[in-house]
């Protein structure tokens, strides 16, 4: 089982899947193991996917210092992974909250990034909360809509992750282009794949107080590495507005919206997603 130990003594696990040039994949959640990324719609047929479990998730250990669960520190784990693998540069793919980790890495180590893909990115680094209510409301004819909409409204009043957990299961249809058996099977793994401690620590603690967000964004505005930002047209999470905010903050970023796709486009349109990413990386 591939793993390495970081400078602070945390054992991190990663999986290798597929053949071809390596693509380091950073999962979101936050606090979710990389297993939900699967083969990224068949992208493993042309790439070796390096699927890193962030500290505290999946097969990776919980760190001795819980404050290092914050996403600025997770970017340092990517640099340690690069050193461990012996790569001079990385092709990177960050999904959802993992896009914040990927962007911080690119801001700190711009010369180590060859190309970067941000799929359905959270705009957390940009301090922007997108409004995707119109996208969700447009699906009012779906049989699951009423229950999902009620759960989404109830999420505004919760005060803990324990309260949120059952509601997150009910709002899952908003994150897929089609709520079919494939989407249900993918969504069913969420609870087991998320570590609550890693989720809470992702944007908390003294590391966040000291984090130079403005400096990171300034570095991204001069980034030379080509960047592709992917959004799903019916993503009820970060959505197209979130992806646009991210793309506008990175020098020369290219944006693409995948029609009919939600927050997990490799589930909704696997061939289109894999072809889009591979074409960009190639």
Q: pLDDT above 90 covers what percent of the chain?
A: 94
pLDDT at 79 over 90: yes
pLDDT for the residue numbered 132: 95
For residue 178, pLDDT over 80 is answered with yes
Tens of pLDDT, residues 180-235: 999 999 999 999 999 999 999 999 999 999 999 999 999 999 999 999 999 999 99
Beta strands at 47-52 and 11-18: parallel, antiparallel or unpaired: antiparallel
At residue 195, what are phi and psi to the nearest 5 degrees? -100, 120
Regarding pTM above 0.75, the answer is yes
What local confidence, expressed as pLDDT, does residue 158 receive? 84
| Cα 40 off chain centre by | 12
In angstroms, the Cα distances linking 189 to 104, 140, 145, 172, 193 are 28, 25, 21, 11, 6
Per-residue exposure over 122-141, b if at least 16 CB sit within 10 Å of its own CB, e if not:
bbbbbebebebeebbeebee
Identify the pLDDT of residue 138: 97
State mean pLDDT over 37-58.
Answer: 98
Q: CA angle, corner 119, sides to 116 and 122, nearest 5?
A: 105
More confident residue, 155 or 257: 257
Question: What integer is the mean pLDDT of 2-13?
Answer: 97
Could you identify the residue written with the tokens 């400096």?
215
Q: What does pLDDT average to over the chain?
A: 96
pLDDT of residue 140: 97
For residues 15-25, average pLDDT: 97
Q: Domain 3-134+194-281's class?
A: alpha beta
d(CA 279, CA 12): 30
What is the model's pLDDT at position 154? Answer: 94
Query: What integer is the mean pLDDT of 64-73?
Result: 97
Q: For residue range 113-128, what is the model confidence (pLDDT) as tens digits?
A: 999 999 999 999 999 9
């Amino acid at each position: 089982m591939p793993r390495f130990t970081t400078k602070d003594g945390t054992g991190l696990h990663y999986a290798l899947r597929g053949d071809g040039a390596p693509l380091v994949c950073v999962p979101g959640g936050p606090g979710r193991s990389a297993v939900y990324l699967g083969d990224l719609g068949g992208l493993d047929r042309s790439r070796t996917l390096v699927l890193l479990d962030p500290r505290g998730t999946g097969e990776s250990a919980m760190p001795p210092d819980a404050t290092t669960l914050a996403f600025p520190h997770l970017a340092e784990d990517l640099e340690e992974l690069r050193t461990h693998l012996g790569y001079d540069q990385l092709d990177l793919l960050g999904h959802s909250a993992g896009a914040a980790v990927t962007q911080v890495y690119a801001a700190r180590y711009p010369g180590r990034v060859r190309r970067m893909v941000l799929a359905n990115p959270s705009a957390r680094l940009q301090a922007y909360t997108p409004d995707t209510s119109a996208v969700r409301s447009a699906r009012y004819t779906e049989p699951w809509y009423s229950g999902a909409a009620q759960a989404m409204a109830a999420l505004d009043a919760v005060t803990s992750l324990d309260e949120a957990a059952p509601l997150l299961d009910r709002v899952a249809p908003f994150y897929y282009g089609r709520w079919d058996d494939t989407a249900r099977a993918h969504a069913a793994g969420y609870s087991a794949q998320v570590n609550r401690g890693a989720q809470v620590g992702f944007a908390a603690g003294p590391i966040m107080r000291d984090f130079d967000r403005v400096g990171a964004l300034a570095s991204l505005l001069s980034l030379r590495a080509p960047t592709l930002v992917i959004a799903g047209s019916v993503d009820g999470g970060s959505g197209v507005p979130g992806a646009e905010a991210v793309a506008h903050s990175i020098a020369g970023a290219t944006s693409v919206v995948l029609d009919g796709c939600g927050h997990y486009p490799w589930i909704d349109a696997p061939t289109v997603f894999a072809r889009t990413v591979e074409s960009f990386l190639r």
